Amino acid sequence: MIEGEAQLADSFRRAMRRVASTVNVISICVDGQPMGITATAVSSLSLHPPSLLVCINRAAAFHAPMGDMSHFRVNVLHRDQSDMARMFADRSQHALRFLSGWELDATGTPRLVDAQATILCRRIDSHSFGTHSIFIGVAEEADSRDEVDPLLYLDGRYCGADE
């Protein structure tokens, strides 16, 4: 990498640390086994049809099964669920991830019961870009918790919208 590119990578990382992102756990069911990953690279795509996109690193264990799924669920974390965010970003906590707080929906996809919001999507498309794949889902069901207090990730730490 030439020096200019290294500098750009640093300044890009620094710039992105100033972007507040809502924290999500994406969940799927693989051969009857629940699987999930913490992800901030999630974006609303359109209202007609109601759709969103999720970006997953190809190096993640979640990547290959995600490509085979008919459905995935975006569980938007509530501010009091930072432990859930840490657990689904830490491979060493794999066995603990679905022990409590989850139920299976009619498609068999895990649903986080106390999530800030949860959106079941049919996976309809994917695109590769660099180290990641972009998965597009059309929403089939969406629920929200009345209280609006999502978990955010900003400058490398978890916080709420008012701090």
Residues that bind ligand FMN (CB under 6 A): 23, 37-41, 55-57, 60-62, 89, 91, 153
Give the CB-nearest residue to ligand FMN: 41
Give the residue with the Cβ less far from ligand FMN, 7 or 33.
33
Instruction: List C-alpha distances in Å: 163 to 57, 116, 128.
Output: 29, 18, 35
Whole-number minimum distance, CB 43 to ligand FMN, in Å? 10
Print burial letters for 109-119: b (CB count within 10 Å at least 16), e (below 16): bbbbeebbbbb
Compare residues 37 and 52 and give the one whose CB is closer to ligand FMN.
37
Residue carrying the six token digits 């100033």: 18
CB of 122 to ligand FMN, least distance (A): 20
Peptide bond into 110 cis (omega under 30): no
Minimum CB distance to ligand FMN, residue 2 (Å):
27
Cα distance between the two ends of the chain: 37
> Which residue, 41 or 142, is less far from ligand FMN as judged by CB?
41
Q: CB under 8 Å to 10, separation ≥6 — which residues?
A: none
Residue 54 vs 120, nearer CB to ligand FMN:
54
Nearer CB in complex with ligand FMN: 30/41: 41
What is the closest distance, in whole angstroms, from the C-beta atom of residue 94 to ligand FMN in the complex?
Answer: 7
How far from the centroid of its chain's Cα atoms is residue 56's Cα? 8
What is the C-alpha to C-alpha distance for residues 90 and 63, in angstroms, rounded to an integer? 15
Tell me the closest approach of the beta carbon of residue 4 to ligand FMN, in angstroms: 27
